[in-house]
Amino acid sequence: MPPRSQTATFKVTWETADRPQVVVDVKDINGNLISGSTAAITIASNPAGAGGTLTVNASGGIATFSNLVFGAAGTFTLTASSPNALSASGSSIHIAKGSQTITFPALPDEPYGTPVTVSATASSGLAVNFASTTPTICTVSGATCDAGQGG
C-alpha cells in the first residue's frame, strides 16, 4: 500500500529562555492529524546552524524536538522531512543574541617588562580568550600578557 500524502505543521515554543522546542504534527492531505504515525522526522535549517537531536520518531503523529540548539543568533527557516512522503513545510524562528558581561579583576602591580597573568569570567559561562591587537608592543600567550622591555 503506497504511503498516503502527508504534510507537516510546526509549533515553536520555548522550553527555556534560550532553548526552543519545535513540535511537528504529521497530518494527512486534509489537515487531519495522523495519530498512528511513527514516522522518522528530520529537521533542517536554512541557513544551516541547527544542531542537537535533528531526527526523532513521531509518537501519535507528533514529533517533538526539545534538544535543538543554534550556534548563532539570526532567523532560521526550519524544514521537516521524512522518507515516508512527508512534504516539507517551512517555519521561521528567530534566535536573539544573548547578553553577557565579562568581568576582569584588578591587575597586580608588577615592574614594567614582567609578564602578568590575566583572567576574566563571562556571565554566560563561556570561556574568555585573550589576544593582543598590538603584538609588537604586547604579546599574549594563553593568559600571560607581556608588555615587553622598556627602552
Tell me if 43 sits within 8 A of 50, measured CB to CB.
Answer: yes
Clarify whether residues 80 and 30 are in a common domain. yes
* Count of the separate structural domains present in the chain: 2
Contact 61, 34 (CB under 8 A): yes
Mean pLDDT in residue range 122-149: 87
- Let me know whether 57 and 111 are in one domain: no
Contact 45, 92 (CB under 8 A): no
- Say yes or no: 73 and 117 in one domain: no
* Residues 104, 80 share a domain: no
Residue 54 covered by a domain: yes
Burial of 58 (0-12, 13-18, 19+ CB in 10 A): buried
pTM of the full predicted structure? 0.59
Residue 151 has pLDDT above 50, yes or no: no
Q: Are residues 123 and 60 in the same domain?
A: no
Question: Does one domain contain both 60 and 122?
Answer: no
The answer to whether the CB of 69 falls within 8 A of the CB of 50 is: yes
Give yes or no: residues 71 and 107 share one domain: no
Domain presence at residue 131: yes
Residue 132 CA to residue 134 CA, distance in Å, equals 5
Q: What is the pLDDT of residues 19-71, one digit of tens each?
A: 667 888 888 878 888 899 898 999 888 898 888 899 999 999 999 988 888 88
What domain range includes position 136?
100-151
The sign of the CA dihedral 131, 137, 139, 144 is negative
Mean pLDDT of the chain: 81
